[in-house]
Structure 1
Amino acid sequence: MKKITLFITAIILSAFFFTSCVNDLNVEPIDPNVNTLNNVFKDQSAYKKALAKLYASYALSGQTGGGGGNPDIAGIDENFGNYLRQYWGLQELPTDEAIIAWDDATIKDFHWHTWSPNDVFISALYSRIFYTISICNEFIRNADKAIDTTSGAFQTELKTYKAEARFLRALSYWHAIDMFGNVPFVTEEDLPGAFFPRRITRTELFEYIENELKEIENELMPARQNEYARADRGAAWFLLAKLYLNAKVYTGTERYTDALTYLNKVISAGYSLDNSYEHLFTADNNSSPEIIFPITFDGQNTQQYGGMTFIVHASNGGGMPLNGIDGGWGGIRTIKNFVAKFNLKESDFDSDPQYQGPDKRAMFFFDKSTWKWDINNVGTFTEGIGVTKFKNISSNGGPAPNAHATFVSTDFPMFRLADAYLMYAEAVLRGGSGGDIGTAVSYINALRQRAYGNDSGNITASDLTLDFILDERGRELYWEGHRRTDLVRFGQFTSGPYVWQWKGKVKEGIQTPSFRDLYPIPINDLNANPNLVQNPGY
């Protein structure tokens, strides 16, 4: 949490949405009479406040705080309409890492793989993605005007702000390409007005994101030199590596060598593994040397029931330790298939409901007197295994900074060095040039030595297979918003041989149709914009 300070003022850029992606999603500007040039960008300091709004769009979904009253978008409850909450849900709930007990609308359809084009949660994330893209476009448009009419230190600063806005736009377009494929496309060149945004193909969008990130590389602050939680070159390199690692999924062409080029830049930029895995998920994780790009939260200043407040509260209940919150909501937990990746079984928890085994990344809760290992009723929270990974306390066990018993101060680590190590190993195994197996093994063993506290979990080159990498990504990165993308890349999300409990709405799990590797274009947007085409299968 903490920096970048989130100035949540009356700076609302949402009046400048492109038409077809407003009406179709019931996304409405909060104040259609706002004139951003005169009212928002009225002095130099306003540009940093407006930049903060761009970053805050991932953490907050309104202007008032506390969960309601002044949302960015209409058509969904402000708390459900939170960017991170919906991104996390669509990345985790359809996988082996998470399952939800609630009956909110269609929420159970995600683990069952039965969602449809009119799903409210899919529409919510889609609209959040394009809301962020829209306000980034408006910021860039106004920054361009100011850059042309100013000079000196402020001009230099404004160019950096603009590069950060372009990074955030690229980040949201990456979410779009990964989850929806061929989508509507607008930039700052498309002035606000009544028109139908053109449809960009997945390959074209890949090339656009790639070019954007390369163009802004030298305009961003050097890696680790910007304020905490603001994008720098390290974040741009990391996002490029993510793009290239998934290039075969997005475009049909492998780009593993390019992934290694940028992973080497990230790894050599001076980030280091945190000595404590647990510290990465506590309320003082802003001090971790491992986090490359987070979404920030603060118990006093980012008060909303989405984001990390959702993840921490919804994963708590059934006698689990509260870890700095005032009560659990009994919603999300994991399943036996995933816990088995840590070689844990039900009997291991006989005497300790928080038994970890030798791999201390296993942060689970199972009290066999009140919980059931097997899930017969998806709607019963205490059937399954609790997850205690994210906590609203400091790493020393004390209160969170700016502690609040309801609203969480823990940051969400979107990009961190451990992921770069895992990506490096995968890119090498898949044939990329610019890396080697020996280095890949050393990176994996660095993660496992932290997890085990010694070298007892170390692997050798013969152990380093793609199946191992997929499982190790799960063990290291679970609940961090990567799993759906990973399973798709490995061919295991839908029609592959790997099934898990309640996949396909069958208790023991079944394969599902491969068209579900992509989410559908929301039906309202499809009906509103004749340039769009529904994804196959929907």
Structure 2
Amino acid sequence: MKISFKYISYFLLLVLGLSMTLTSCTDDLNVTPTDDDEFLSEAFFKDPASYKQVIAKLYAGLYVGGNDGDALPDISGLGGDFSSYLRLLFVTQEFPTDEAIVAWNDDGLPALNGQTWSPSNQFLYGIFSRAFYEISVANEFLRQTTDEKLTERGVDANLKAEIATLRAEARFLRAFSYYNLMDLFGNVPITTEADPVGLFYPVQKSRAEVFAFIESELKDMDNGLAASKTNEYGRVDKTAAKFLLAQIYLNAKVYIGTEKFNEAAVLCNEIITTSGYTFADVPYRYLFSADNNRNGAQSEFIFPVVSDGIAIRATGGGMSFILHASIGGKMNAGDQGMNGGWSGIRTRPEFVKLFPDETATGDKRGTFFTDGQTLDIANYGVFSNGYAVRKYTNLNSDGSAAQKTDIPDTDFPMFRLSDVYLMYAEATVRGAASGNLATATGYINKIRTRAGATTISSSDLNLNFILDERGRELFWECHRRTDLIRFGKFTGGSKIWQWKGGVKNGSGTDSFRDLMPIPSRTIQANPTLKQNTGYN
């Protein structure tokens, strides 16, 4: 068992029958019951326990797509497994890059492999809808927890203080969704608790306006979030807000055309020196094992998406998707602690070549499975084409079994301290006034020493090295698309990998694909939305 909060997320809401459905991206939260077992918002919030339960629903939505795991989907028209937030982030951040390729021929997946997507891509509609669903739940929680409403319900002072922290967490999770929408789609609507409930057409904002909203929210919630390292494992604190703020500053040149590398470096330094999160001095593989919440890896997990084989019923979402889909060919699923594989995801040869060898000898992070696999991907629809990846495992770090083999215990490290080291180093190399090159080199060498890789000198620390090192350290952690765009290597022809552009040897792609298209189904629901350039 990991934390009581997670059990609230995955059990209590099932008993309550919480029904929050999003009929379109232009709806806000609809909590009108369809039968007597469900409830109206006002009635529900009369129960003092309800406040933590709705926040639990927000956290659960990062992993599962509905109130019964994959069943009872949150979003009309999208299956619970298909609409898992983590699964959709992985699909959109990894499949269009050199780090991953998928064998399946589901409508829209080959286009993601080759950067040839269109506005009708169902996976882009999925991530757009999931993010706005989470925003809608957060907005309703914030509507129902104003001082006025709490006073009307007779909420006592102690519970009010706890709710103030929960409100800050709801705002953080809302900001996290807006960050993903801004990163993927650019110009998107902003809805808050101040907007009306029901069908209306929210105004589309520029990417700069969305950036400013996220920045303002993250700065302001420092007053409400729990102090660093004082919250329950799996819940965010002040450091998570600083991390996300550093992340948008690192990418500010892309998002708003203005560099904010020094702001990023300052925040990274604060996290490293004062947050209480510490570099996990354990083997690299411990960070991705089934017991990574308690084997020492958790010391650097700033924002984990919590998994549990017993408490979670999602067989197709979250880590269950990542692990099942990455097993196939001659791989023994039991060696990864799983009950089988779906023969889906591998990596591309150009990514393999970032490592000194294919056997994890010179760098323990290069966890490739090569038996029966070809490095060359002649046909991406064949799982044996391309090396498989064994980064994540559903075995404990000592090799013992996890709780179940169909649904993993492995937590997903959305934010971790090693990424802060890498962000600090990059911001420093890019000219952050507060950065120190020797300090940055020391952070990089800490990461490389844990991986059993050779250390570097300050003269080795350049942007090309940092991009490669981010790949080696953070691959399959939903960063690669964003990283490649920031380095100017996602589209165009400066960095080519197999099947980029939809051809076997790879080709340059148009720069407008640095932004995903606004899904056509979304524009049909809200005709005031403007499509991104290049997709008309």
| TM superposition score normalised by structure 1 | 0.93
Q: How does 1:129-208 map to 2 (within 5 A)?
A: 129-144=131-146, 145-149=148-152, 150-208=155-213
Aligned residue number for residue 404 of structure 1: 404
| Cα 1:253/1:115, change in 2 over 3 Å | same
Aligned residue number for residue 106 of structure 2: 104
Residue correspondences, number: 516
**CA distance in structure 1 between the partners assigned to 2:338 and 2:25 by the alignment:** 41
Aligned residue number for residue 217 of structure 1: 222
Contact 1:333 1:386 in 2 (8 A): yes
Contact 1:248 1:254 in 2 (8 A): yes
TM-superposition CA deviations, 1:295-328 (whole Å, max 9, x none): 1111011121111000001000112242211111
Percent identity of equivalent pairs: 47
Q: Which runs of 4+ in 1 moved over 2 A?
A: 1-4, 7-15, 17-23, 27-40, 145-151
The alignment partner of 1:63 has SS state of strand
Contact 2:27 2:198 in 1 (8 A): no
1:475 is aligned to 2:472: yes
**CA distance in structure 2 between the partners assigned to 1:40 and 1:115 by the alignment:** 42
Contact 1:21 1:127 in 2 (8 A): no
Aligned residue number for residue 247 of structure 2: 242
**CA distance in structure 1 between the partners assigned to 2:410 and 2:344 by the alignment:** 19
Letter in 2 for 1:159: A
Aligned residue number for residue 41 of structure 2: 37
Once the two structures are TM-superposed, the CA of residue 28 in structure 1 deviates from its matched residue by 8.3
Moved more, 144-153 or 474-483: 144-153
Once the two structures are TM-superposed, the CA of residue 438 in structure 1 deviates from its matched residue by 0.7
Contact 2:31 2:41 in 1 (8 A): no
Contact 2:27 2:197 in 1 (8 A): no
1:486 is aligned to 2:483: yes
TM-superposition CA deviations, 1:30-63 (whole Å, max 9, x none): 9457554333212111111111001111111111
The alignment partner of 1:196 has SS state of coil
Contact 1:246 1:489 in 2 (8 A): yes
Once the two structures are TM-superposed, the CA of residue 496 in structure 1 deviates from its matched residue by 4.3
Aligned residue number for residue 301 of structure 2: 291
Aligned residue number for residue 375 of structure 2: 373
The alignment partner of 1:415 has SS state of strand
**CA distance in structure 1 between the partners assigned to 2:130 and 2:25 by the alignment:** 14
Match of 1:308 among 312, 319, 333: 319
Aligned residue number for residue 280 of structure 1: 287
Contact 1:13 1:135 in 2 (8 A): no
The alignment partner of 2:375 has SS state of coil
Once the two structures are TM-superposed, the CA of residue 98 in structure 1 deviates from its matched residue by 0.2
1:527 is aligned to 2:524: yes
| Cα 1:13/1:199, change in 2 over 3 Å | farther
1:270 is aligned to 2:283: no
| TM superposition score normalised by structure 2 | 0.93
Contact 1:59 1:295 in 2 (8 A): yes
**CA distance in structure 2 between the partners assigned to 1:407 and 1:19 by the alignment:** 30
Contact 1:14 1:134 in 2 (8 A): no
Long gaps (5+) in structure 1: 349-354
Aligned residue number for residue 81 of structure 1: 83
**CA distance in structure 1 between the partners assigned to 2:255 and 2:98 by the alignment:** 23
Contact 1:118 1:522 in 2 (8 A): yes
1:449 is aligned to 2:446: no
1:336 is aligned to 2:333: no
TM-superposition CA deviations, 1:247-294 (whole Å, max 9, x none): 110100111111112111211212112122111101111122111101
TM-superposition CA deviations, 1:430-459 (whole Å, max 9, x none): 11122210100000000011111xxx6111
Contact 1:21 1:130 in 2 (8 A): no
Letter in 2 for 1:319: K
Aligned residue number for residue 351 of structure 1: none
Aligned residue number for residue 432 of structure 1: 432
Superposition RMSD on alpha carbons, in Å? 1.8
1:95 is aligned to 2:105: no
**CA distance in structure 2 between the partners assigned to 1:406 and 1:106 by the alignment:** 26
Letter in 2 for 1:309: S
